[in-house]
A and B are shown apart, each in its own frame.
Chain A
Amino acid sequence: MTDKTKKRRLAVVNADSCVACGTCFAVCPFEAMEIYKGCYARPVGERCVGCGICERNCPIGCISIKIREEAV
C-alpha cells in the first residue's frame, strides 16, 4: 500500500497579531478568508488556493503562505 500525498499551498494567519481589519477578506478572489467572530482572520475550509494576494495586502504582514502535504 502506498501513502499518496499532494502538496497544497495555503494562507496561514498569525492570529495573535491580526488586527481583524478585513483587508484579506476584501482582496481574496475566492472568498476564502473570514474574520472569525470579529477577532482574527482565518482561511475557510478548502477554498484557499494559496495565491498569496492576501499576504501581499495584509497591512501588518501577519499572513504567510505555507505548503502543506495532504493525503489524497
Chain B
Amino acid sequence: MKKGKHWYDYIWIWAIIYFSLSFFNIIFAWLGMIDFMLPLAFAIFGGSKYFCNRLCARGQLFLKLGGQYKLSRNVVTPAWMYSSIFRYGFMIFFLTMFGNVVMQTWLVASGAGDFQQMVTLFWSFQVPWEWAYTAGGVPDWVAQYSFGFYSLMLTSLLLGLIAMLIYKPRTWCSFCPMGTMTQGICKFKN
C-alpha cells in the first residue's frame, strides 16, 4: 500500500525558518538546541532513531534539494566518509567544538572573556555578523552562545550542502555527529 503524506513530511520548512530567523536575529539560534536534545532524548529514552527518520528538517531538506530538485550528482559516498573511524572521529571533533562554544560562553558570563559578535565558519573563518544583534537586549553570554552555536549549525549545514552536491542527497547523514551519536546509543541500548 502506498504511503500517505504526514505532517512531518513538511518538517524541512523548519530548517529554512530556523536559518532565516537566526540570520537576522542571532538569539533565535538557541532554538537549534531542539535539534540537539530531541534526537538524544529519542535515542536514550526510546532506543530509536525516530528523530532522524521523521523529524530531522536538515535531512529532509537535503533529500528535497538533492533528490527532488536534482541538485546532487548522486554519486555514492566514498567509503572513508562512512567508516567508523571517520564517523566517530568527526563526532568527537564536533563535540569538542561544541565544548569550545560552551567555554567561550562561560568566559563571557564570568567577565574573563570578550564578547565577540562573529560567526565562525568551518571553525576557521571569522565573519563579522553585527546586523543580527543589538547590544543590551539579553545578557552578553546569551548572545555569545547564540553566535557560537549558530556558527556550528551554519558550518554543518554548509558541509551537508557541499556533500549533497558532490555525492548523494543525504551524504551528510552518513557522518552527521548527531546521527552517529544516536546510532551509537541505540546499538549500546539494544
Q: A residues within 8 Å of B by Cβ?
A: 17, 19-23, 25-31, 35, 37-39, 47, 56-61
Contacts and interface: CB of A to CB of B under 8 A. Distances in A.
16 contacts: A17-B82, A19-B175, A20-B179, A21-B170, A22-B53, A23-B173, A26-B59, A28-B3, A29-B2, A38-B183, A38-B185, A56-B74, A57-B169, A59-B82, A60-B79, A61-B77
Nearest to B67: A57
Interface in B80-127: 82, 87
A19 B82 contact: yes
Interface of B: 1-3, 43, 47-49, 52-54, 56, 59-60, 63, 67, 74, 76-77, 79, 82, 87, 167-171, 173-176, 179-180, 182-183, 185-187, 189-190
B83 to A, nearest CB: 9
Contacts, number: 98
Nearest to B53: A22
Given A22-B52, A23-B63, A57-B168, A38 B186 contact: yes
A59 B59 CA distance: 12
A27 B63 contact: yes
B179 A21 contact: yes
A31 B185 CA distance: 25
B2 A39 contact: no
